[in-house]
Chain A
Amino acid sequence: MKNIVATDRLCFSFNGTEILKDITFALKRGEFLGIVGPNGSGKTTLIKLLLGLMAPTRGSIALFGRNIGDFHEWSRIGYLPQRITGLNPHFPATVEEIVALGLIAGKPFPRRRSRTDRKPVEEAMDLMDIKVIRNKLIGELSGGQQQRALIAKALVASPELIILDEPTTAIDPETRERFFTTLKDVNRKRGATIIMITHDVGTIGQHASLMLYLDKKVVFYGGFDEFCMSKEMTDYFGEHSQHLICHRHENVISNIEGLHGPG
């Protein structure tokens, strides 16, 4: 099966400081990658490289089988940035207008909106439960409501690859649950590939099929079960974190208990 994303010995330096070193990983259709790591470990930089927002110092990136330099089908990718800091509270676009912006990537110049755009916009707003605030200005909403609108914008074009940078930081537990259920649906039923940066390892553990633990270089890359039992995870999250984080996998827990012994 063709790789959706593949990086090969990817390096990035800024002002002589090495931010990322020799990052190699590949994702196939329908895989769900959780990226974790301490602050300043290069998680957001990696995502920006994957989106072509920054150029790597060395190494290569391929999207949907094509070198990133030759890749132009950006509508196949949905992106949710880390919270838009400095969002102008007077920005005059309504929630509906913002969600619809997610559709313009796939349109040829002059990117006119059409009647057929209405359906996906309605569905995306429905999904994130923001129909009631559709006519409100984005800048006047609470942080959580803004985040829901931005998630809807990222999902509206039914992208094949979804890249999310800490998507659930500002939203309430109920909406977070609904968001993950939706994401799981998109991942399993539509086969969308997902890359998500998060600090919420407990939640990502319930959904991700692969984990990438980054600290300027790849510290761990592999399946979630393997990640749960790895030394790297214990080092990073603490000795007893497995019980909390790996609660979805009975076998992993029993393995861990087997390793640590009773009591």
Chain B
Amino acid sequence: MEISEFFHHGFIQRALIAGCFIAALCSVLGTFLVLRRLSLIGDGLAHVTFGGVAVGLLFQACPFYVAVPIVMASALGILKLTDRARLYGDAAIGIVSSLGIAGGVLIASVAGGFNVDLFSYLFGNILAISAAEVWTSVVLCLCLIMAITLFYHELVAISFDEESARASGIKTGRINRVLVLLTALTVVLAMKVVGIMLVSSLLIIPSVTALQFSRGFRATIVISCLTGMISVIAGIIISFMLDLPSGATIVFLNFLIFITTFTSVRLLRKTPAPGT
């Protein structure tokens, strides 16, 4: 198939548009999560999404809209557990995450009959995204990116040193809530691209790839976005051409870019500059 012909397919166009927006959003947000050592919150909330999707399927409602409030409430629950119950962040994520999975499995087992639908959410299929889902994704992505832009300096300040940020009058509690709520929405959005099981890879891998370049904060975010978008575009093309699952292909490409960058940067640093 000619490459121009490939881009004429409506489902490919929809996948590329939604995929690029979601990848950019995940990459920006992921940079803050990785730096705040909250990478695994994406994984934990993805597991809760599984429970939310199961509830949606049980009541024959749109899983996306059912999952959003459940995942957002869980995100706030993780914060509360960390702050009030003085649990370590990863322990709080572990509790909420396993609860989400357990809830989903129980509902699927009791209700029966929608295991196949649930499976499609677990591993995602961006090539099956509808026009309405594309619009929802694009609008939500733009809103979320705008929110991140508005809170950019606060997010950088608390990522660097939360105590100093608080001492300078930044309401760190509010910023933390904004961050986890944005993550919750992003995770639910991204489940269509790579699926619930692989969603954290879109949050983590582009950011850690960008961190290898050791540039300034804005440059890191731009590189992270580019990495995420390239892996989604290439992943969609390759998965279609080779008839591979799109979500897994995107994750593997992301990893490939990371390992190539990691190795190249280290080799370049070891190589002395000419004339030295």
Contact = CB atoms under 8 A, between A and B. Distances in A.
Given A97-B216, A111-B153, A111-B154, A105 B170 contact: yes
B167 A101 contact: no
User: Which of B35, B154, B167, B217 gathers most chain A CB within 10 Å?
Assistant: B167
Interface in A132-165: 135, 137-138, 140
A149 to B, nearest CB: 11
B164 A93 contact: no
Interface stretch (A4-12, A32-40, A84-92, A197-205): A84-92
A97 B160 CA distance: 11
Chain B interface bracket (under 10, 10 to 19, 20 to 34, 35 or more): 20 to 34
Contacts of A137: 214-216
A199 B220 CA distance: 39
Contacts of A105: 168-170
Given A90-B211, A92-B214, A93-B217, A101 B169 contact: no
Interface in B134-162: 149-154, 156-157, 159-161
Q: Is the interface of A mostly helix, strand, loop or mixed?
A: loop
B167 A77 contact: yes
Interface of A: 51-53, 72-75, 77, 79, 81, 84, 87-88, 90-94, 97-98, 101-102, 104-105, 107, 109-113, 135, 137-138, 140
Contacts of A79: 164, 167-168
Contacts of B80: none
A238 B152 CA distance: 51
Contacts of B169: 72-75, 105
A61 B166 CA distance: 17
Nearest to A88: B35
Given A93-B156, A97-B217, A137-B214, A84 B168 contact: no
Contacts of A104: 153-154, 157, 168, 170
B166 A53 contact: yes
Given A79-B164, A137-B214, A91 B35 contact: yes
Contacts of A97: 156, 216-217
Contacts of B164: 79, 81, 84
Contacts of B214: 90, 92, 137, 140
> Which 4 A-B residue pairings sit nearest by Cβ, starting from the closest?
A74-B169, A105-B168, A92-B220, A51-B167
Nearest to A78: B168
Nearest to B163: A81
Contacts of B167: 51-53, 74, 77, 79, 81
Interface in B166-216: 166-170, 210-211, 214-216
Nearest to B218: A97
28 contacts: A51-B166, A72-B169, A74-B167, A74-B169, A77-B167, A79-B167, A79-B168, A81-B161, A90-B214, A91-B35, A92-B35, A92-B210, A92-B214, A92-B216, A93-B216, A94-B217, A97-B156, A101-B153, A101-B156, A101-B157, A101-B160, A104-B157, A105-B169, A105-B170, A107-B153, A110-B150, A137-B214, A137-B215
